């Protein structure tokens, strides 16, 4: 079923203008990074405390959050279920016993008729945060390495794999930049979202590359730029529908999923748009630029006269 007529958009002709978009975004987000002083790391990376408490009567999360912030508990994350409440907070140099005392005193002073019981308390130290940071870096490095090998093997060209990785790096760095821009916490959930974005983006790129490879075999006499344009136009509807579906789901989670999954949905929304953009306007044009320059070098080498002995 064809929902729209075949398109004939010259994406390759727009490549230089489109290359400016990520450059501008990088400049803006770099300014935000400098202004914010770096990412706002969550307790998974800087250490903190997770406390599960229960109240005799239901309590509003907004009221508990205000009480905690008034007692210098910075940016607490709350998750509630009936009378149970899970509190995650960065504690800095505050000891676990001191945090427990602050929590009990604050609740007793502000909710005198609603008894609170601490059911479980877990402490995440800085060493654990450092370990998780290294594991997150390893996860990205191994993922990128695996993608390069897979794409290079499948399409029999290292530049295709490198182009796919450049697109992924663009998606991941810009997604992190938007997280920094809005000062959202970077925790394990954000790392999971970034890896999900990377997986979605590479899938979109492979679909496009596969169509390019097919059209190269079927249209050997056609100009390489025309082949890429034809391939992008052929998969454009699929890309739009897939991206729109993920975007709608991410938006629904962002507004209705609650605070715990809020940042994950935010990264997915940003990453969906970036993934579709990078496949069309970054990965494919990089392959085009490489192939065109390679052909020019080969032609120039043939034109150079050989010296007579």
CA neighbor of 273 nearest in space, from 74, 25, 32: 25
Q: What is the pLDDT of residue 2?
A: 57
Dig out the tokens for 194 from the structure: 């970034």
Kindly tell me the burial class for residue 43, based on how many C-beta atoms sit within 10 Å of its own C-beta (0-12, 13-18, 19 or more). buried
pLDDT higher than threshold 80 for residue 304: no
Q: Residue 186's beta-bridge partner residues?
A: 41
Asked if 64 and 77 count as a contact pair (C-beta separation under 8 A), the reply is no
CATH of the domain at 169: 1.20.1640.10
Report pLDDT for 307: 52
Residue range of the domain that includes 187: 12-39+128-302
Q: Detail the DSSP E strand segments found in 91-233.
A: 116-124, 185-186
> If pLDDT is split at 50, 70 and 90, which confidence band does 309 have?
very low
Residue 181's pLDDT band (cuts 50, 70, 90): very high
Mean pLDDT, rounded, of the chain: 86
**Same domain (yes/no): 145, 90:** no
% pLDDT > 90, the chain: 38
Task: Give the residue, 13 or 185, on which the prediction is more confident.
Answer: 13
3-class DSSP state of 85: strand
b/e sequence 83-119, b meaning 16+ C-beta within 10 Å: eebbbbbbbeebeeeebeebbeebbeebbeeeebeee
Considering the domain boundaries, does residue 307 fall inside one? Answer: no
Asked if residue 144 and residue 114 are part of one domain, the reply reads no
Angle between helices 262-278 and 158-181 (to 10 degrees): 140
Burial of 62 (0-12, 13-18, 19+ CB in 10 A): exposed
pLDDT at 272: 94
To 5 degrees, how large is the angle CA 146–CA 285–CA 21?
100
Q: Residue 2: inside a domain, yes or no?
A: no
Q: What is the pLDDT of residues 235-293, one digit of tens each?
A: 998 899 999 999 999 999 999 887 778 899 999 999 999 999 999 999 999 999 998 98
Point out the domain boundary residue: 96, 124, 152.
Answer: 124
In DSSP terms, which residues pair with 88 in a beta bridge? 50, 77
């Amino acid at each position: 079923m064809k929902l729209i007529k075949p398109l004939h958009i010259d994406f390759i002709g727009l490549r230089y203008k489109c290359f400016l978009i990520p450059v501008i975004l990088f400049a803006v987000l770099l300014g935000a990074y400098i202004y914010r002083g770096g990412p706002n790391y969550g307790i998974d990376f800087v250490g903190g405390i997770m406390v599960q408490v229960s109240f005799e009567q239901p309590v509003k999360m907004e009221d508990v959050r205000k009480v905690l912030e008034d007692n210098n508990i910075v940016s607490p994350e709350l998750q509630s279920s009936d009378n149970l409440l899970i509190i995650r907070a960065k504690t800095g140099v505050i000891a676990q016993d001191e945090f427990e005392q602050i929590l009990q005193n604050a609740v007793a002073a502000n909710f005198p008729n609603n008894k609170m019981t601490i059911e479980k308390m877990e402490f995440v130290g800085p060493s654990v945060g450092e370990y998780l940071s290294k594991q997150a870096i390893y996860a990205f490095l191994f993922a990128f390495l695996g993608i390069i090998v897979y794409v290079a093997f499948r399409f029999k060209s290292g530049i295709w794999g490198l182009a796919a990785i450049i697109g992924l790096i663009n998606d991941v760095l810009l997604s992190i930049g938007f997280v920094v821009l809005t000062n959202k916490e970077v925790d394990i959930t954000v790392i999971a979202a970034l890896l999900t974005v990377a997986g979605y983006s590479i899938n979109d790129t492979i679909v496009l590359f596969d169509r390019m490879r097919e059209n190269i075999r079927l249209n050997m006499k056609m100009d390489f730029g025309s082949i890429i344009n034809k391939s992008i136009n052929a998969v454009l509807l699929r890309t739009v529908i897939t991206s729109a579906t993920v975007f709608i789901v991410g938006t629904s989670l962002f507004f209705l999923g609650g605070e715990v999954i809020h940042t994950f949905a935010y990264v997915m929304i940003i990453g969906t748009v970036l993934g579709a953009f990078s496949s069309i306007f970054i990965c494919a044009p990089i392959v085009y630029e490489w192939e065109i320059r390679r052909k020019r070098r080969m032609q120039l080498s043939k034109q150079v006269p050989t010296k007579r002995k």
